[in-house]
Amino acid sequence: MVGQRKWNRRLAVLVFLSPALLGLLAFQLLPMVSSVVISFSDWDLLTKWTHIRFIGWDNYANIFKDEKSYTSIKNVFYFLIGYMPAITILGTLFAVLLNRNIRGIKLYRAAVFVPVITSWVAVSIVWRWLLNGQSGLVNYLLSRVGIDGPIWLQDDHWALIAIIAVTLWKDIGFVSIILLAGLQDISEDYYEAADLDGASAWSKLWRITVPMLSPTLFFVITISLINSFQLFDQVLIMTNGGPAGATSTIVEQVYKNAFQFNKMGFAAAQSWVLFVIIFTVTMIVQRLQRRWVVYDR
């Protein structure tokens, strides 16, 4: 009887979980397996599954031979170099400012977070106008102080910088709110003890705030890294990967190869290369966090 009740309980659990499991199987696991199969084939999306031609590792080998694909990978790492330090430092600075007990602070917090909930499509269209080299508001304001602004999105030296700046503007609210939560979780007892010892503001920042905030910083860095590798919306709308591939990214190349050039096999291979890159970088960050992240137990 006891064994029968256990099986009945397991059957009931399986019945209740089956809708979620079927959804997981149909919309995640099967597409993932299919993309692996497609990545080893030459398929144009228009022919039937029965006409897929398997070509082995050719798609993966061609990723680093294809100039556009190689450039897109390189551009993502250039983006990371400019974006990651800036979002970490600025996010922390904004979090400290938003943590102050001043009048109207809730309004300021809401204002900082508004870009986060705004559609990337709408944001990109607006910034494409603002950064217009001839009639954009940014260059107009620069001209008022005697600066001749560049043609931002049409200049291969400035286009990626513009993408970084716009992404920072949109993401800063998310990062600062997460870090603000981390700041408010730090016990005031640490600061009171430091005041009794006569610690300076700088010492409290580096000896208390930064170490106690490190778990939240680790989370923010990990999420920002993963999102950066998936850079797509603003690039497609603002520059379409141009000029001359200066802002081309991996996801943008996957989209174009799959749905514009009908090279589904090559696009699937690029997707899995992107997965391997994200997984590797995330594991490296995970290992390094043991050296600098402090957990308050």
Domain assignment present for residue 56? The answer is yes
pLDDT at 2 over 60: no
Tell me the mean pLDDT in the region 251-261.
92
102 close to 181: Cβ distance less than 8 angstroms = no
Domain tally for the chain?
1
Buried b / exposed e over 8-36, threshold 16 CB at 10 Å, is eeeeeeeeeeeeeeeeeeeeeeeeeeebe
Domain assignment present for residue 22? The answer is no
pLDDT at 158 over 70: yes
Query: What's the confidence (pLDDT) of residue 141?
Result: 92
To which residue do tokens 């990723």 refer?
A: 63
- pLDDT band for position 296 (cuts 50, 70, 90): low
Tell me the mean pLDDT in the region 142-150.
90
Please give the structure tokens belonging to residue 241.
């990967």
Domain assignment present for residue 3? The answer is no
Burial of 135 (0-12, 13-18, 19+ CB in 10 A): exposed
The boundaries of the domain holding residue 128 are 40-292
CATH number at residue 64: 1.10.3720.10
- pLDDT band for position 293 (cuts 50, 70, 90): confident
Least confident of 90-94, 119-123, 188-192, 235-239: 188-192
Domain assignment present for residue 17? The answer is no
Query: What's the confidence (pLDDT) of residue 297?
Result: 55
Q: In what helix (H) or strand (E) does residue 38 lie, and over which residues does it extend?
A: helix 30-39
pLDDT at 126 over 60: yes
% of the chain residues with pLDDT over 90: 50
> Which residues have CB under 8 Å from 108's CB, separation 6+?
98
Q: What CA–CA distances, in Å, run from 125 to 59, 121, 175, 251?
A: 34, 6, 23, 19
Domain assignment present for residue 18? The answer is no
- The per-residue pLDDT for range 265-275, each reduced to its tens digit, is 999 999 999 99
Please give the structure tokens belonging to residue 174.
């998310």
Domain assignment present for residue 140? The answer is yes
Domain assignment present for residue 16? The answer is no
Buried b / exposed e over 285-297, threshold 16 CB at 10 Å, is eeeebeeeeeeee
Query: What's the confidence (pLDDT) of residue 124?
Result: 94
Query: What's the confidence (pLDDT) of residue 204?
Result: 83
Question: What DSSP assignment string belongs to 70-109?
Answer: HHHHHHHHHHHHHHHHHHHHHHHHHHHHHTS--TTHHHHH
- pLDDT band for position 211 (cuts 50, 70, 90): confident
Question: Which sign, positive or negative, has the C-alpha torsion 153, 154, 160, 162?
Answer: negative
Question: Which sign, positive or negative, has the C-alpha torsion 210, 213, 215, 220?
Answer: negative
Domain assignment present for residue 11? The answer is no
Query: What's the confidence (pLDDT) of residue 161?
Result: 95
